[in-house]
A and B are shown apart, each in its own frame.
Chain A
Amino acid sequence: MIYDVCIIGSGAGAAPVAHDLSNAGFKVIVLEKGPWYNEDDFTKDEVAVSRRNLYTPLLKDEQHVINERLEDGTTKRYVGSEYNWSFWNGSMVGGSSNLMSGYFHRMKPNDFKLRTVFGDIKGANVADWPIDYDLLEPYYDKVEKVVGVSGSVVKHPFAEPRSSKNFPYRRLEENKVTRWFDIACKNLGYHSIPTPRAILPVDALKRHACSYSNFCGSYGCATGAKGSARAALLNQCKAQILSEVFVYKLESNKTKITGVYYYDKKFKSHYVAAAIFVVAAQAIESSRLLLNSRNRYFPNGMANNAGQVGKNLIFSAGGAGEGRFIFESLSRQQQEELMQPGLFFNRSLQDWYEYREEGVKRKGGTIDFLFEHANIISRTTRQFYDDTGKILWGVALQDKIYKAVTASRVLTFEVFNDWLPTDDCYVSVDDKVKDKYGIPVGVIHLNAHKDDLIVGEYLAKKAVTVLQKMGAVDISYSISSSPPPNLVAGGCRFGDDANTSVLDVNCKAHELENLYVTDASFMPTGGSVPYTWTIYANAFRVAEAIHRHLKRARVQ
């Protein structure tokens, strides 16, 4: 059988394509490496999910090699399994969107033209996108309605233009401490934003409403309220989905992909033929698949005759911080408000999405505020050390744990700013380490631009002022160049120039007629927000381009 479309991967970049094209009547097959879980499988099992990483491969079976560039210019090599350093997220049908918190922000109009607006930055490969915000806006809007985004639009200095007046779903229920936050921001002159969430507050879209389980991020959603690629799109389309199959090679002639090879879980090899192929296996793995697919026409990897595959890998820069609210400084009513479980703390700040400091105009970012994760085991293990860094045990530890968990609560914040693309941050494949299938693993070459840290520090200090104003104690933060494995993009940049990009404006490979890449790989820059909404929106946009492509092919 020859499919119209074969999609490799099933996450946020894959599912919109599978959804729209299969429902339009095309024969679509989705090949996913991970298992197929459903709502009934998703329990709030901290041991399995958070402590044993149930949803990611064992590193002895599948891993990465990480080459970290050090300050002195040398590189240190880490084999993932030896250092327990994992870059996996959710290996399952629907990918890591099953496990996201669903903090949804659109990119801003200037994010699409950073080079034009802010100019070149020494040591960074900043490039404008080949599309602008206006072109992507209808697809952001489509995500709100099809995937389901809840929130309320408020005015603030960097609010992006919208074609719909408000979100299609009202805000989720909020903890009353958000009022403390709003008052603090008002007094500071900041603009408190109710964070939009890809979570349904009511039954809709053939899915159930949020149950306010208190365990959202890192966990699969048992009601289907979270807008995962699986619940929102794959469960509602006609695509054929094969789980637990690992695509290890693309085959091509000079101009077209002719088929893909995959291993099933018994390591038996299979072949799939299709008219169009879509790679959306997550940024690092998509580049790895292309680089591992060498042949006489593409000796350096598929679509890589210009040497651009894997280049300009980016993450979300920034970091995290926190402050603690303790009972001693609160009224009885405030204590009760603070400890109310289940309800969300959905607040963000974007006042410094762009800012000027010491005469330099900088691209800033987003700060999301949220309560410390409800995972009780990790909340206790965080109490193991005293203020001097000395490990505690015995009654001293028991008392510290009891007080921290029962008489205080931590409000955390996450800073998202641009990870500037550089020559030294990219993906290659290793010539020694192979996975359980015998396929060379991906090598992640890490390097962060110094400006990433400058901006992160600036934003974190702004977040601290809010926590101080709210009366938090034990305030701390950490801005580092450590890459968050769940916020990765780039590697197959889209652009108009085939010499400096892998994909064209429609995310089709410049060098091949029927290969598209629709996960976050296409992004030349990442914006200063979590990527998922943009990945969804762009994949819906590319699905339309593929639809046109298929129609043209049928006419011919």
Chain B
Amino acid sequence: MFLSSKRLLLKHLVLLAASLVLPKRLHGDALLWQTIAQVQHDLFPASSGVPTLKEIAATTYLKRVMRETRVTQEHKAFIRNGERWLNETSQEQYHKSYTALNASQRQALLQRISKESWGERWIATLLTYIMEAMLCDPVYGGNIGEVGWKWLHHTPGKPRPSKALV
């Protein structure tokens, strides 16, 4: 595409620079959740007999957690910051955002951040919420059709909640 004027060219350069320096500001929650959904797939891939992330509504469940009043603002900020730091590390190593990497690059990046304190903690946090999504009572929106309980032959305690309490 040819740019029609110098002014237009400058405008595009400014926007391009901004998108490189401030990807989060431009994309906001969209990038956050796109990245987290990809990390969830990389941490808990489709596997024979194992509930899929779609069946346990893992991303939707985590979005719900981010609205809970009993989860501290600091913890929610950590989840958000982890995504930002992951993408910063991705840009630093591959000059691409996490979601633009291929599967082996993403795994390598996860391995790299898992050796850092924040990275290990962030991965454990995302895994924890995958487990919650998979094994919570379905009133919380995860574990659709009790698919997680069936996988692990788990019998829930009774009485079960009739509605979400948090």
Contact = CB atoms under 8 A, between A and B. Distances in A.
A377 B136 CA distance: 8
Interface string A431-468: 00000000000000000000000000000000000000
Contact of B152 (A42, A60, A402): A402
10 contacts: A43-B160, A44-B160, A46-B137, A58-B69, A219-B157, A376-B152, A377-B135, A391-B123, A394-B45, A395-B45
A50 to B, nearest CB: 11
B132 A405 contact: no
Given A380-B131, A406-B153, A47 B44 contact: no
A84 interface: yes
A374 to B, nearest CB: 7
B123 A393 contact: yes
Given A44-B161, A391-B120, A394-B43, 9 more contacts: A45-B160, A46-B136, A47-B132, A47-B140, A219-B157, A377-B132, A384-B127, A393-B127, A397-B44
Interface stretch (A120-128, A156-164, A182-190, A209-217): A209-217
Nearest to B128: A381
A46 B159 CA distance: 12
Contacts of B135: 46, 376-377, 380
B71 interface: yes
A219 B154 CA distance: 18
Interface in B115-132: 120, 123-124, 127-128, 131-132
A43 B161 contact: yes
Contacts of A374: 157
A321 to B, nearest CB: 23
B132 A394 contact: no
Interface in A7-55: 42-48, 51-54
A240 interface: no
A384 B114 CA distance: 12
B63 interface: no
A364 B158 CA distance: 38
A5 to B, nearest CB: 34
Given A47-B136, A395-B47, A52 B68 contact: yes
Contacts of A222: 158-159
A406 B131 CA distance: 16
B1 interface: no
A53 B68 CA distance: 13
A381 B127 contact: yes
Nearest to B165: A48
Interface of A: 42-48, 51-54, 58-60, 81, 84, 211, 213-215, 219, 222, 341, 374, 376-377, 380-381, 384, 390-391, 393-395, 397-398, 401-402, 405-406
A214 B155 contact: yes
A393 B44 contact: yes
B124 A391 contact: yes
Nearest to B110: A393
A47 B152 contact: no
Given A44-B157, A393-B127, A398 B47 contact: yes
A263 B165 CA distance: 25
A434 to B, nearest CB: 19
Contacts of A59: 72
A347 to B, nearest CB: 22
Contacts of B47: 395, 398
| Across the A-B interface, the 6 shortest Cβ-Cβ residue pairs | A44-B157, A215-B157, A48-B165, A45-B161, A393-B43, A52-B70
